[in-house]
Amino acid sequence: MKIQRSTQRLLLFVAALPATLVIMAIIYMTGMAHFEESPRTFMESLQWATETLTEQREKICADAARMVKNARQDHETPNVQGQGDGQA
């Protein structure tokens, strides 16, 4: 049975997200122990990785919303007095 391409991409994403979190947590845990001499547990590191990705997603969403708002404002035509409002 052949899996659809969209299903393959979904499965890849579902597998890649936890893998990314674990890799980020390990890097953070190792870096804190080595550079800051302040070791963190794996769970603390995993929490940091999760919060970091969440903050980035929120920032990206906020930036996208701001871009959409600016694009809408750019496409609105200003109502110049005496034009387009029925007054001459």
pLDDT digit string, tens, across residues 35-73: 999 999 999 999 999 999 888 878 888 888 888 888 888
Q: Collect all residues with Cβ–Cβ distance below 8 Å to 11 and sequence separation of at least 6.
A: 3
- Name the pTM for this structure: 0.62
Within a domain: residue 65? yes
How far is it, in rounded angstroms, from Cα 46 to Cα 43? 5
The number of distinct structural domains making up the chain is: 1
The closest of 42, 29, 14 to 6, measured between CA atoms, is 14
pLDDT, residue 47, reads: 95
* Model confidence at 83: pLDDT above 60: no
Does 85 map to a domain? Answer: no
Look up tokens 């994403």; give the residue: 13
Whether residue 84 is contained in a domain is answered as: no
Per the domain annotation, does 87 fall within a domain?
no
Question: 36 lies in which domain range?
Answer: 9-73
Residue 68 lies in a domain: yes
Tokens of 80: 């110049």
Q: Would residue 16 count as lying in a domain?
A: yes
